[in-house]
Amino acid sequence: MQFGQSTRPGGYAPATMDDRRLIFVSGKGGVGKSAVTAALALRAARRGERVLAIGMVDSLGLAAHFGVDALEYEPHQVHTGVDAVAIDRTKALDEYLRLQLHLPKAAPIGQASKVFQVFVDIAPGVREIISMGKPIFETWQGTYDKVIVDAPPLGQLFSYLRAPATIAQTVPTGAVQDQALRMRDTLGDPTTSALVLVTLAEELPVMETAEALDDLAKEPVIDLAALAVNRVLSPLGIAPSVVDDLAPGPQREAANLHENLFADQQPWLAMLPAGPRLPYLFGFLTPGEVAARLVDHWEAAS
């Protein structure tokens, strides 16, 4: 596997990320991207910023990490300094159409919306640009200092990030094209927007991350600001010979398991570029506690 060509020398440390106003967090499903999204939102709030956290496709994970059951379709405070919102497809579509057609909020667009909903489901780039609209409009509007997005998982991410460029190419009319171009430029501006990728030190997440870096190198739609590795184990801290001398039993089994899992992570970690390493968090923690702990570890890694 090649990680070399598309990586930036010096890796992806998040030092420059704090100034950005629009941050997308993604990774393969199950790597903990919602936890990292929540952690980054809490971290920005601690620094005194007003934050909007957005759950883009499945917002239940993000909700759990803020300690609530579900996110609403209008921003609601979930933590001091942090508002959170879920994107609702129908509402996002209405919002998008109103912006396009310069309609007041109360104007009825139900029937147009109905036609579009079906179109949106299958026309390339349309569903994606509508979901991308919310975070980008919020960034333009400037109600919040920072917009942090729990973005779609890696498999779908690029069809979303590319959507403004796709639409600008395929839609020939003036206003829509102008706005798509403006969205594309906001995403591509490294002083405004950043992508944070989360991975695990395991085969499939690392492979998918390598593919994502290649895609980004070919088509730099957004600046990758940090590549974080989640659930990293620390070394056991004693010589293997000591473990081998132990009597058979749970202590020895747990020590062996830890040693072996740690050893399995090393080649993948060596392959990944530099960036925050977030520890495996053991035992009974609520998702909210997980997010709060990750803030501290992110701080230490930065």
Partner 1 sequence: MSPRPRSRSLLVTGAGGVGKTTISAALGIAAAGAGVRTLVLTVDPARRLADALGVEHLGNDPTPVQGAPRLWAAMLDVTASWEAIIHRHTDPEVAERLEDNAFFRAIADRFPAAQAYAAGEQLAEYLEAGAWELVIVDTPPAGGGIDFYQAPGQMRELVGGRILRVLTGAGLPGRRALYRITARPVLRVADNVLGGALLQEFTEFLMDLRTLYDGLARRATNIEEYLRASTSLVVTTANPTPLREARRFFEELEAIASVPAAVVFNRALPNDWTRKDLDLGRDLGADRASTVLRDNFRRWAAEARRQREAREEFAAHFKVPLATVPWAEHPPTTLDALAGLMDVSSGLPDHALVIPPK
Q: Does 256 bind partner 1 (CB under 8 A)?
A: yes
Provide the terminal-to-terminal Cα distance of the chain, rounded to the nearest Å.
28
Q: Does 90 bind partner 1 (CB under 8 A)?
A: no
Q: Does 159 bind partner 1 (CB under 8 A)?
A: yes
Give yes or no for a contact between 232 and 279, defined as CB atoms under 8 angstroms apart.
yes
Q: Does 70 bind partner 1 (CB under 8 A)?
A: no
| # residues near partner 1 by CB under 8 A | 58
Residue carrying the six token digits 């974080």: 228
Among 36, 41, 44, 64, binds partner 1 (CB under 8 A): 64
Buried b (16+ CB within 10 A) or exposed e, 103-116: eeeeeeeeeebeeb
**Residues 225 to 244 in contact with partner 1, rule: CB under 8 A:** 236-238, 242-243
Give yes or no for a contact between 61 and 150, defined as CB atoms under 8 angstroms apart.
yes
Question: Least separation, in Å, of the C-beta of 247 and partner 1?
Answer: 6
Among 5, 111, 218, 270, binds partner 1 (CB under 8 A): 111
Give the Cα separation of 194 and 153 in Å (integer): 16
Tokens of 167: 């639409």
Q: Does 270 bind partner 1 (CB under 8 A)?
A: no
Q: Does 205 bind partner 1 (CB under 8 A)?
A: yes
Q: Does 89 bind partner 1 (CB under 8 A)?
A: no
Give the Cα separation of 138 and 272 in Å (integer): 33
Phi, psi of 145 (to 5 degrees): -70, -35
Question: Least separation, in Å, of the C-beta of 257 and partner 1?
Answer: 6
Q: Does 207 bind partner 1 (CB under 8 A)?
A: yes
Give the Cα separation of 22 and 134 in Å (integer): 11
Tokens of 188: 């591509």
Q: Does 176 bind partner 1 (CB under 8 A)?
A: yes
Residue carrying the six token digits 């993948």: 268
Compare residues 176 and 274 and give the one whose CB is closer to partner 1. Answer: 176
Note the residues at the interface with partner 1 (CB under 8 A). Answer: 28-31, 34, 60-61, 64, 97, 100-101, 109, 111-112, 114-116, 118-119, 122-124, 153, 156, 159, 170-173, 176, 202-205, 207, 236-238, 242-243, 246-247, 249-251, 253-258, 260-261, 264, 282-284, 287
